[in-house]
Amino acid sequence: MGIDYARYDRIRAVQWRDDHLRLLDQRRLPFEEAWLDCADADAVAQAIRDLAVRGAPAIGIAAAWGVVLAARRGADLAAALATLRAARPTAVNLMWALDRMKARIAAGADAAALAAEAQAIQDEDLAANRRMGALGAALIAPGSGVLTHCNTGSLATAGFGTALGVIRAGVAAGRIAQVYAGETRPWQQGARLTMWELVRDGIPARLIADAAAAHLMKTGAVQWVIVGADRIAANGDTANKIGTYQLAIAARHHGVKFMVVAPSSTVDMATPHGGAIEIELRDPAELLATAGRRTVVEGAEAWNPVFDVTPAGLIDALVTERGVIERPDAASMRARFG
Ligand code: MRU
């Protein structure tokens, strides 16, 4: 199955530029394509915290380059590792990438060797995405409709995407005829980012309000829900963007299949189950305003967890670059990931 990557893989949101890291500022998309130049590890950590760069694999890659910046500047590497690690708590790709960099530092790597490691992390992610695209698309019957959530595309990864990579590969192969994307309140990753990627690629896509998902499934228009992941526990429980769990529940109720697509760097065998995953709580102000404009009465309070955990029992297929696991559980996860 040949995919036209020149059409379906054109965005590079995380770019190393000789002496600094250049990030496509995802807070300003889709109407402004502004680039943020990070000259040190603190600037990278800030960009991760503020969601200028976001998506589990992309924050891991950016953090790895943050370590390179620290090494090039002769900064305290232990401090840089700690600052980057603390930037966000849920996506394990961040800790995984920093652990890889830490191991190279412990082995005596200089700045050039650390840059080679960061580049390897980035290159391996792109290769994993292309492999997962082929594996996931093969599960989808020709002419299907799919629903996705958040943004899992080139913006969230080294390129091509995880769930969005499967969607791209599925569209290219004629297996997916229609894509639906949930808005993903409050930060609108689906509306602002996923729709931007899909429209650029000429993929037939419709935005839905998050609240329209169960109704959409009831109409029979979608056969698969396809999402990414921020951390997959040893029993297959999967943390992903808030709202994913309710999609999985609605999918099972309506006989719609549920697919999680993530590189093995998202699998955390040291976390036994979803209950042990830290869920990031962000500023309630993100819910009380839209695009910087207050929409809720002064004095109102809000609760803003930005991830949730889908129990493994609601997942029909887990796709990683190491293959497909149907109905993942502790035994099948152990067999695949050790
Ligand atoms: O808060 P975000 O935008 O970083 O959350 C991103 C998600 O939840 C994605 O679904 C996940 O990181 C997978 S991206 C390939």
Which fold is adopted by the domain 129-337?
Rossmann fold (3.40.50)
pLDDT, tens digit (0-9, with 9 covering 90-100), for 173-209: 999 999 999 999 999 999 999 999 999 999 999 999 9
Q: Is the CB of 148 under 6 A from ligand 1?
A: no
C-alpha distance from residue 294 to each of 5, 288, 300, 303 (Å): 41, 6, 11, 16
Q: Is the CB of 152 under 6 A from ligand 1?
A: yes
Annotated catalytic residue 99 = no
Tokens of 77: 């590497």
Question: What pLDDT shows up at residue 1?
Answer: 52
Q: Is the CB of 228 under 6 A from ligand 1?
A: yes
Place of tokens 């207050």: 294
Q: Which atom, in ligand 1's list, is nearest to the CA of 280?
A: 1
pLDDT, tens digit (0-9, with 9 covering 90-100), for 130-184: 999 999 999 999 999 999 999 999 999 999 999 999 999 999 999 999 999 999 9
The pairing of beta strand 238-241 with beta strand 231-233: antiparallel
Mutate to test the pocket of ligand 1, among 150, 187, 260 (most ligand atoms within 8 A of CB): 150
Ligand 1 centroid distance, CA of 153 (Å) = 9
Provide the strand spans (E) within 99-172. Answer: 144-148
Ligand 1 centroid distance, CA of 282 (Å) = 14
Ligand 1 centroid distance, CA of 1 (Å) = 28
Mutate to test the pocket of ligand 1, among 95, 147, 185, 241 (most ligand atoms within 8 A of CB): 241
Minimal-distance CA residue to ligand 1 atom 15: 152
Ligand 1 centroid distance, CA of 23 (Å) = 16
> Count of CB atoms within 10 A of residue 268's CB?
21
Q: Is the CB of 43 under 6 A from ligand 1?
A: no
Listed by start position, the domains of the chain span: 5-127, 129-337
- Per-10-residue mean pLDDT, the chain, length 338: 85 96 98 98 98 98 98 98 98 98 98 98 98 98 98 98 98 98 97 98 97 98 98 98 98 98 98 98 95 93 98 98 98 97
Catalytic residue among 230, 237, 268, 308: 230
Q: Is the CB of 192 under 6 A from ligand 1?
A: no
The three-point CA angle 267-272-275 to 5° equals 100
Q: In whole angstroms, give the CA distance from residue 147 to residue 225.
A: 5
CATH of domain 5-127: 1.20.120.420
Burial status of residue 332 (CB atoms within 10 A of its CB: 0-12, 13-18, 19 or more): middle
Q: Which atom, in ligand 1's list, is nearest to the CA of 161?
A: 15
Provide the strand spans (E) within 59-112. Answer: none
Ligand 1 centroid distance, CA of 59 (Å) = 9
Ligand 1 centroid distance, CA of 129 (Å) = 15
